[in-house]
Structure 1
Amino acid sequence: MRALMIQGTTSDAGKSTLVGALGRLFARRGIRVAPFKPQNMALNSAVTTDGGEIGRAQALQAQACGVEPHTDMNPVLLKPASDTGAQVIIQGKVLGNMQALDYHEYKLTAKNAVLESFARLKDQYDLVLVEGAGSPAEINLRDNDIANMGFAEAVDCPVVLIADIDRGGVFAHLVGTLELLSQSERNRVVGFVINRFRGDLALLQSGLDWLEQRTGKPVLGVLPYLHDLYLDAEDAISTQQARRDTKLKVVVPVLPRISNHTDFDTLRLHPEVDLQFVSVRERLPECDLVILPGSKNVRADLNHLKGNKWQSQLDRHLRYGGKLIGICGGLQMLGRTVCDPEGIEDKPGTEGGFGYLDYTTTLTPQKALKNVSGVLALNESTTDIPLQGYEIHCGVSQGNGLNNPAILIRDENEMRPEGAVSADNQVLATYVHGLFDLPGIQQAILQWAGLDSSAAVNLTDHRQHQLDRLADVVDEHMCKDWLEKFETCSSELAHQSNEDS
């Protein structure tokens, strides 16, 4: 009972949010708790305090638990670069690119890193909340599994199975998943949680009774559908509809390998900004600002944009006075060329950029991973506005276009120029993610883009409010007897472990 694993019947069933909610709930009750995901496949990532890279969901869960994110919280991170291959990151550091079949064989080695990281967390915390990946009933992935039941069996961890009733078929999901597990795996499932329920619970009760009788396992909670719940996404992009009566229209193209689109969460929440994610195959709608996001395969995504005539559409956007920002991979696209001589992201080669800024980028094996602070360098009035963010990239950019920086990064006692602003002040490029997270920087950049407003979103406060909201819902709608017994057992075991040591 020093660990509890949340597994889902499908992807996006609510595993990440339930781990975050339980983490906040137990932390508020004085339990030292940490999140853990053995293996994560996601293009949204975060930089940890120990200088590594983990899935963004685990960084958010660490915040929910009131602890600093660490690479042990997500020892295996897979960042897809194509339909059959991914960059493999072990305990925060890049191992290299692997095809799916090669990684399937490598999992036996990766399991050692997973168990090492889990053991360290268990030694440091009273309770470790473990998140599974996808579904434990993926028959083709059962061999050498380290993401779901393979991990739970290895560490003898109880499992709660969560399913999303809003998708339909919730009883089939739960019963079918159990049927596809081995007997020992079924035995370690201690109960079910049904997520995103709308309506009168009385109408669901007969189904809950049948489920408990059919499986012999309790329903530990039915969590309601929460409207307007906005938290850092693990991978999925919000399909929120465009707003009316806004002052600034912002468009972000959804690249095939888009990464860290959580950069735009504050804009999605801003009351005077209409943020639209649009398919690359769609025509660029009329807007004030276009943002080219990060990418896990910059050359392929750049080629995809150009193949769908985005060069001419961006030319027109700038000709009519629009603004353009490139972040990380987007910065690389705005230059003259992107070179990948060693095949870091794809086959070796060079792709011509959009050419709005005078620099070239070469991809290198060394990955920049750092949290940064500094100031915005758009003009003299912005140089006293503090900035915080993070860098995650393999590229090195060089050229005269970088002589007019967008940001000044604080490196020890010096200020390092970073990014670029075009001579006509219409194009801004930077490697810094989280550019819009702090209210002051957010206001300054949106003003640069044409928004005359003092409104701003404090993303830190927003996250804390949403995490507390989640914890309150779990506290109200999950079985209180089970929560209290689990909490008491975890605390007693942790106390006994401390006495033994």
Structure 2
Amino acid sequence: MKKLKSIMFVGTGSDVGKSIVNTGFCRIFKQDGYTPAPFKAQNMSLNSFATPEGFEIGRAQAVQAEACQLACHTDMNPILLKPTNDKSSQVVLNGKPVGTQTATEYFMGNNKAALFNEAIGAFRRLEQKYNPIVLEGAGSISELNLKSRDITNMRMAVETDAVTYLVADIDRGGVFASVFGSIHLLDEVERKQIKGILINKFRGDIKLFEEGRTILEELTGVPVIGVLPYFRDIHIEEEDSVSLEDKFKESHSSLINIAVIRLPRMANFTDFSVLEYDPRVHLYYTDRPTEIEKADIVIIPGSKNTISDLAHLRKIGIASSIVKAQKDGKKVIGICGGYQMMGETISDPQGIEGDLPLISGLGLLPINTVIENEKVTEQCHFKFKDYADVCSGYEIHMGQTSLKHPENYLNKLSQGKEDGYYLNEKCWGSYIHGILDNSVVIQDLLEGFNTEDINFDYNQFKEEQYNKLADAIRENVNMDLVYQHLSE
């Protein structure tokens, strides 16, 4: 296949749809016979994924790699920031944590040149193996106070000479000002890198925007390559917790109500994506005791700061609601940090998560956890309970958990390790993210409720969604012009 230039999607702001657009183009290039790979120099997210080699990257790039039908690699996201509180983040470089820094230390420090070199090195390695590289920016390209230290947006676009498209969300309003302002605030070299505009999340008849398209092209001097509709029937795993705001709903009378506890620093909420699309289930996120009482199943998710989030649950009265749910015979499970919370104690002797050295757990499982510096990041295969099916998932956690009754483990891993704790059919916990992506686990979780037996293949569902997304982009984007830009 012909060698194409790299392509990049940057935004007028956060949550304008860059990740979804990037994912769709990854699948299009794969369908068209190319060998694409995703790339984002720096990502800030609590949603992460373990690579086959046992390193950590942002979940969005793992999803994009899946759209490319590739195994994910740290070169696709060499720098990952995982917020630990409102002011500090763990810095993950090339898949491994290298320390925790405040926003001031990270953005104002002198390490950005070194990090930019690391990012460029990762890009060059990908460029040698894949064609084209599909880059993603972060947030807005026009944050002037941070621009000199930016290593993700236009600096990366210029350095890689990527064909760059500006994505704007018309649904939030102000699209003309945001597009014109974003481009106008760039310097001349950066403006030359912008080859087109992509309008996203248009509601209604797209033909009504024809005049708007002309106005934007006259204002900016670059073409509008497409206007994408507001997708309602295409479901791609989302990276940012801002997407969860639409999911803080209430219980539903006719389905199995599953309440995921809303945590301030909830991590890897994509663990529950499979439940969103299961027709037997009504999934909702909540921090209200009344909604926990209405749930049939309660799930405690992962957290980037387990001790702080557990203290928060106690403060707002949710902790006692979870304990009551378990005593009332409801199913209660925990994943990763949620599993740790279900135990008797969590200790942090080195002060890794904060100033609180010890906290009492919910007391639902006879386990104790010690937070440690060493971070476990690995993909795994395992057998759930006593089922014969071989399941898959991944671990990302800091801390070791000891079981008072080691024989009551939940999962047997292929490398001989054991994971989790099984109290009874209605109460268990596990470190394994993605455990619910396995149909045998879902069937077991929903057992006992009056529903039809459905074998929902989540992997097949995701493949269908990537193809639907690619079709929608092809239908609404001038792909001939895109390929022309990539071939110049």
* TM-score in terms of structure 1 length: 0.92
Please point out which of 173, 180, 188 is paired with 2:185: 180
Give the direction of change, closer, same or farther, for the CA distance of 1:285–1:152 in structure 2 (3 Å limit).
same
Displacement of 1:463: 1.1
CA distance in 2, matches of 1:446, 1:283: 19
Instruction: Could you tell me which runs of 5 or more consecutive residues in structure 1 were left unpaired when the two chains were aligned.
Output: 490-501
**Partner residue in 2 for 1:494:** none
Q: Within 5 A, what are the aligned runs for 1:43-442?
A: 43-104=46-107, 105=109, 106-236=111-241, 237-238=243-244, 239-240=246-247, 241=249, 244=252, 246-279=254-287, 284-347=292-355, 349-377=357-385, 382-411=386-415, 414=416, 416-422=417-423, 424-442=424-442
CA distance in 2, matches of 1:341, 1:153: 46
Q: Report the identity percentage.
A: 37
CA contact (8 A) 1:295 1:301 kept: yes
1:353-380 deviations in whole A, cap 9, x for unaligned? 1111112111111111111111111xxx
CA contact (8 A) 1:292 1:330 kept: yes
Moved more, 104-113 or 210-219: 104-113
CA contact (8 A) 2:9 2:165 kept: yes
- Paired residue type of 1:226: F
CA distance in 2, matches of 1:73, 1:192: 24
Displacement of 1:247: 3.5
* RMSD (Å), alpha carbons: 1.8
CA distance in 2, matches of 1:284, 1:243: 9
- Paired residue type of 1:174: V
- Paired residue type of 2:163: P
CA contact (8 A) 1:77 1:90 kept: yes
**Partner residue in 2 for 1:461:** 460
**Partner residue in 2 for 1:446:** 446
**Partner residue in 2 for 1:497:** none
CA distance in 2, matches of 1:52, 1:311: 33
Secondary structure at the aligned position of 1:140 is classed as coil
2:18 aligned with 1:15? yes
1:54-77 deviations in whole A, cap 9, x for unaligned? 111101111111211100000000
Displacement of 1:451: 5.7
1:293-321 deviations in whole A, cap 9, x for unaligned? 00000000000001111232123212221
1:255-314 deviations in whole A, cap 9, x for unaligned? 000000101011111101111101368763411111000000000000000111123212
Moved more, 94-103 or 255-264: 94-103
Count of residues in correspondence between the two structures:
480
Secondary structure at the aligned position of 1:139 is classed as coil
Instruction: Could you tell me which runs of 5 or more consecutive residues in structure 2 were left unpaired when the two chains were aligned.
Output: none
1:135-182 deviations in whole A, cap 9, x for unaligned? 111122112210111222233323100001111111111011112211
CA distance in 1, matches of 2:101, 2:7: 31
Secondary structure at the aligned position of 2:369 is classed as strand
CA distance in 1, matches of 2:289, 2:90: 26
CA contact (8 A) 2:403 2:421 kept: no
* TM-score in terms of structure 2 length: 0.94
Displacement of 1:477: 1.1
CA distance in 1, matches of 2:71, 2:24: 17
CA contact (8 A) 1:81 1:346 kept: no
- Paired residue type of 2:117: N
- Paired residue type of 2:442: Q
Give the direction of change, closer, same or farther, for the CA distance of 1:283–1:468 in structure 2 (3 Å limit).
closer
Secondary structure at the aligned position of 2:292 is classed as coil
